[in-house]
């Protein structure tokens, strides 16, 4: 998938906003340790998603500059 810079920015921004919301939820004293751990796993997954988007952008930049052949 080829990302435009704007599209990638929007996707990363969405993930960061969700991470912020999850972090706020984790501060709720009514949550169990298991629920907090679930929130942390979700945050970790979002961080991996941000890394994937960043990698896609980097690969697309290399392809567009002609220094890397397309996959496949």
Give how far the C-alpha of residue 36 lies from the chain's centroid of Cα atoms, to the nearest Å.
Answer: 19
Kindly list the domain boundaries of the chain, sorted by start residue.
5-65
Give 10-residue mean pLDDT values along the chain (72 residues): 75 97 95 96 98 87 60 52
Confidence (pTM): 0.77
pLDDT given at position 19:
98
**Residue whose C-alpha is closest to residue 20's, from 43, 53, 51:** 43
């Amino acid at each position: 998938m080829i990302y435009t810079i704007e599209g990638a920015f929007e996707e990363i921004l969405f993930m960061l906003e969700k991470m912020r919301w999850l972090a706020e939820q984790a501060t709720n004293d009514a949550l169990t340790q298991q629920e907090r751990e679930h929130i942390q796993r979700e945050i970790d997954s979002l961080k991996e998603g941000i890394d994937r988007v960043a990698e896609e952008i980097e690969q697309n930049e290399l392809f567009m500059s002609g220094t890397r052949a397309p996959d496949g």
